[in-house]
Amino acid sequence: LAALLVTYVVGRSIAPAAITFCAVFVATLVAWPFVVAGQDIPPSDPPWTWFLVSVVTASSIMFLPLVWQMAWTIFVPVLFGITRLAQAGFAVDFWWPTLLDVSFAIILGGVFVTLGWMFRSIADNVDESRRTAVETYTAAAVTEAAENERVAVAALMHDSVLAALIASERAQTPREQGLAVAMAQEALTRLANAESDAGLGSDAPRRFATLVEEVERGARGLGVDLVVERAYSHDAPELPGRAANALILAAMQAIANSIEHAGGIGLTVSARQEPDTQRLHLEVQDLGDGFDLDTVPDDRLGIRGSIIARVAAVGGTVHITSDSNGTLVRLTWQGARA
């Protein structure tokens, strides 16, 4: 019994110890009538083996299936009763006390078996729920990663590859041809770095003013010499590097769309900060004929992929208004709240 308790405490070799304990106890019960033969034992004084009957039935939980646990819970008390009566020579005075002892042992053993079954069922249900939750989370994470990768690759193909091909097809002057070559080189570089996300750059914080300057340089690369209208404080909140890059690329796509579809008529870009807040806006506006976003085919990625999805992926928002008087694309980043 002491060895069995030690295995319970350390949590090792529990089943072998329980099997050994049960086997030794059954052998003790079988030998008991022969060991105490001839002794005068009163009917109301049960032997010490009776106090271990419930321990033996409870130990069966450690190594027997449920059906055999129930059988063992009946077998051991009945065996105790038989050996108890055999010890007394099956005297009539021993029948009633022994029957009470056997009944109590069976009931108590049944309680132990029921508790063991209940706790195991609860543990199995918890494990199954946890396994299902992990599988569901893993599947959702894989799906989200695949969708993000699809959006990123689609935006990359649209921004770099298709733009370079269109520029090459339309290039007429040496300057336009040189610009097309530069765009093709950039597209090849971004494709080579796509898997490692090198095109997104570092996530180190970047100043809003730096972002605005890069938009101006990018616009000049598209042949548009514009100056961004600035309306923000010198201590405007910094943006995470990936968010800043996403806003730059989205703004450049909006500028490219304006040049391609509206001829760049009335093209202006403004950068502003809402008063007394951490919210930053980067707006691209033109005076073209406008368009209806709902009628744009899903496979056209210039707006949905390269602007809306790209900004949403880094926690920003996009608001687009367009009518016959022109188009406004507003990119918004909400900084940390004070």
Q: Kindly report, residue by residue over 154-190, the tens digit of the pLDDT.
A: 666 666 677 677 767 777 777 667 767 766 766 666 6
Q: How far apart are the first and last CA of the chain?
A: 65
- Domain 206-338 indexed as CATH 3.40.50.1820: no
Do 239 and 206 contact (CB within 8 A), yes or no? Answer: yes
Name the residue with tokens 């990359």.
156
Among residues 213, 218, 214, 248, the alpha carbon closest in space to that of 333 is found at 248
Which pLDDT score is estimated for 20? 78
Q: pTM to 2 decimals?
A: 0.47
Among residues 168, 259, 177, the alpha carbon closest in space to that of 218 is found at 259
Do 76 and 109 contact (CB within 8 A), yes or no? Answer: yes
314: helix, strand or coil: coil
| Gap between the Cα atoms of 86 and 132, Å rounded | 55
In which band, very low, low, confident or very high, does the pLDDT at 285 lie, cut at 50, 70 and 90?
very high
Mean pLDDT of 222-236: 85
Domain with CATH 3.30.565.10 in the chain: 206-338
| Gap between the Cα atoms of 228 and 250, Å rounded | 15
Which pLDDT score is estimated for 81? 83
Pairing relation of β-strands 317-323 and 326-334?
Answer: antiparallel
Do 323 and 290 contact (CB within 8 A), yes or no? Answer: yes
Highest mean pLDDT among 81-95, 108-122, 174-188, 290-304: 108-122
| Gap between the Cα atoms of 122 and 69, Å rounded | 18
Mean pLDDT value across the chain: 79
